[in-house]
Structure 1
């Protein structure tokens, strides 16, 4: 049983390849729509934690991931609906090229599993293709025609031309695309004044350069407002059909997990049957809620908004701790979670915070729950690139020269 369909205007911004400017255009579009007074729900295809930080600055709402690998295809529309609660429009930034998904799909999975195209189909959302047109002319029409024909299940509503060289360049491209019936919703000029620095995993996280990031997002919003047809894009978004799904709910998700049926798609029926059966964390001494500290700040920026929502729904009191700034754990901390990020970029400051490192080591030594992944494990190591860390784990971590990506 699915409740009333979700009538939410929505767009997916995709590209032929990585590096076409999706994040620039998407973040600018989010900021421009917000400047019009719209409540914009930001989403990102895949496990990327960096781009959502810029989306959050642009919209004032948490950036949300739509990851068909980690969450499963059946959960994506419900998670999308949950994140978009109260929004006027949802904007989804794609990942890599439009049809680029996992390298080796499992048996039964489509060849483009977890791609932007896959997510767009699951959301029944129109796609706007952001194309880097540097050095391109009439041949661009052949490229776009190929993307339109490759999967007819998608609604490729039009394109935004990025890095346009001149007004004449725009005219040539627009005329070529008109010949094949493709609408152009914007022509973004080459803009050197708006620069967002990158490193090996993409953009430098917004939390590491907040004042500059806020300024960049504001300038991107002005750039996109001046160079794109916002009214036309809104018409496309509002033409998206109602989405038949129930919004994900953390309390219901906990109940499903407790029942051993976390992958069930029809959550409304299960929730009605289970009532208030969602598990809750046991209270701490004195009857107060269990206090869970979650590492944050510039060194630990990788995390999902739903993680905190699930902990809160389970009855935990979730508090933040910044290992770069806080020299103690929050008072009454019962458990600690340290997620991903870039501790190697802040190793000196992390090492200098000797008081917090010693407290975390003592906290773990007395058997308190500590959950860490990725960067969190580096912080719990004895050392990172020779610099002292928390020494909870009897290992020494060293950053290698080769970047490894994957699930």
Structure 2
């Protein structure tokens, strides 16, 4: 039996990442097997969750995968665990801008898990009772099981806050004092990734674990967690793949860390041998590479090192020239351009990339404008765009995607499918199977 609990907050910046990651690490350190999850399309928090729990951090996003897959994905990721700790996104009821779809509250209901609310108490005392009353009554189907009070200034402050929580009948599961040393470096798209932060990321997780273990009642959190309902378990494959197993190289490391755990599982189930390659370190592709996956990440932060690795850039350009299937998203798109901020990149695509001061963010309902090794022309997907970059031209002669209110975007160039649009492979398993089949043809 796996128990589950959702860690949410009234708003971003309340401390839910500290509490969720700290809980994962504190449980794991006392021998409780933890399955870590993050609601929404965020790639960064799951890296810290992986460090904390010692298991792959996974995302739950009904916009990207469909609500029918949320329960099965949780049960898949939680196999062998004792408790699933699910970190929410933004405020409890915040989701897709247009309608709130995909909010933490909605996913908690899909999973059948209670919510622990992390409240930033700096600057308030008894008013926390009104806040809690409002959040609990706004949607009675959301089961708020307890509260963690964060950034509490003193023992007296804690006493007043506890009394306020008692007024609305919600138990206090933890009281965290104000501290500043847990701050993890951030940049234009959020926290610095765990892959980039290295030893300091481990130290940050250690500090979160110690803080939570000292100031949160772990047994009380386990007591409010509830068993996951039974049901289907997501599977990356339905049978034995046919044909030769092609080698699919997948970029990783500090520059390309934006990926979903299910992607590798789906590639493997479809019949591929997935081999990781770090463009910051490796000077050649794995032997026998038939296809390449270039996920998102922060290539702009490592542009000099990426540009300096000429042997790998040449190898990728030569692979693309053979027509081999290459799947590049966001950061991967930048890497395939002629140059990024004036530094030479792979020169696979007839475009230049540059950082801008403008954030492009949001879900996209997109249609494939050109058939490729991933999608048939006319196929529709739900995706997510999140970057501070511009590519000129925005699309090639054979654009990858179109969506309402925007010009065509991305490139289908030989065997390359490259764009800013992030998709979740679990929401598009047919695209992964199609990609591997294309790799088998060329292997």
Q: Within 2, Cα distance between the matches of 1:193 and 1:360?
A: 42
For residue 293 of structure 2, what is the aligned residue in structure 1? 337
Q: Say yes or no: does 1:316 pair with 2:272.
A: yes
For residue 146 of structure 1, what is the aligned residue in structure 2? 134
Q: Once the 2 structures are TM-superposed, how far is the Cα of residue 154 of structure 1 from its aligned partner?
A: 1.2
Q: Report the secondary structure of 2:360's partner residue.
A: coil
Q: Say yes or no: does 1:128 pair with 2:116.
A: yes
1:332-385: CA deviation from partner (whole Å, max 9, x where unpaired): 111000010000000010000011001101110111111111110000000001
Contact conserved, 1:281 with 1:290, CA < 8 A, in 2?
no
Q: Within 1, Cα distance between the matches of 2:264 and 2:293?
A: 10
Contact conserved, 2:4 with 2:227, CA < 8 A, in 1?
no
For residue 63 of structure 1, what is the aligned residue in structure 2? 57
Q: Once the 2 structures are TM-superposed, how far is the Cα of residue 89 of structure 1 from its aligned partner?
A: 0.3
Q: Within 2, Cα distance between the matches of 1:59 and 1:53?
A: 10
Tell me how many residue pairs correspond in the alignment. Answer: 363
In terms of fraction of residues, the more strand-rich structure is 2
For residue 176 of structure 2, what is the aligned residue in structure 1? 188
For residue 286 of structure 1, what is the aligned residue in structure 2? none
For residue 25 of structure 1, what is the aligned residue in structure 2? 19
Q: Report the secondary structure of 1:172's partner residue.
A: helix
For residues 333-372 of structure 1, the aligned pairs below 5 Å read 333-372=289-328
TM-score normalised by length of structure 1:
0.88
Q: What is the alpha-carbon root mean square deviation over aligned residues? A: 1.0
For residue 12 of structure 1, what is the aligned residue in structure 2? 6
TM-score normalised by length of structure 2:
0.81
Pick from 72, 75, 81 the counterpart of residue 78 of structure 1: 72
For residue 225 of structure 1, what is the aligned residue in structure 2? 213
Q: Once the 2 structures are TM-superposed, how far is the Cα of residue 242 of structure 1 from its aligned partner?
A: 4.5
5+ long unaligned stretches in structure 2: 364-443
For residues 1-400 of structure 1, the aligned pairs below 5 Å read 7-105=1-99, 112-237=100-225, 240-252=226-238, 276=239, 280=241, 282-283=243-244, 289-400=245-356
Q: Once the 2 structures are TM-superposed, how far is the Cα of residue 281 of structure 1 from its aligned partner?
A: 6.1
Q: Within 2, Cα distance between the matches of 1:155 and 1:368?
A: 50
Q: Report the secondary structure of 1:69's partner residue.
A: helix
Q: Once the 2 structures are TM-superposed, how far is the Cα of residue 8 of structure 1 from its aligned partner?
A: 1.8
Q: Within 2, Cα distance between the matches of 1:82 and 1:326?
A: 33
Q: Once the 2 structures are TM-superposed, how far is the Cα of residue 128 of structure 1 from its aligned partner?
A: 0.3
1:254-296: CA deviation from partner (whole Å, max 9, x where unpaired): xxxxxxxxxxxxxxxxxxxxxx3x6x3642xxxxx20000000
Which is further off, 195-204 or 323-332?
195-204
Deviant stretches of 4+, over 3 Å: none
Contact conserved, 1:281 with 1:316, CA < 8 A, in 2?
no
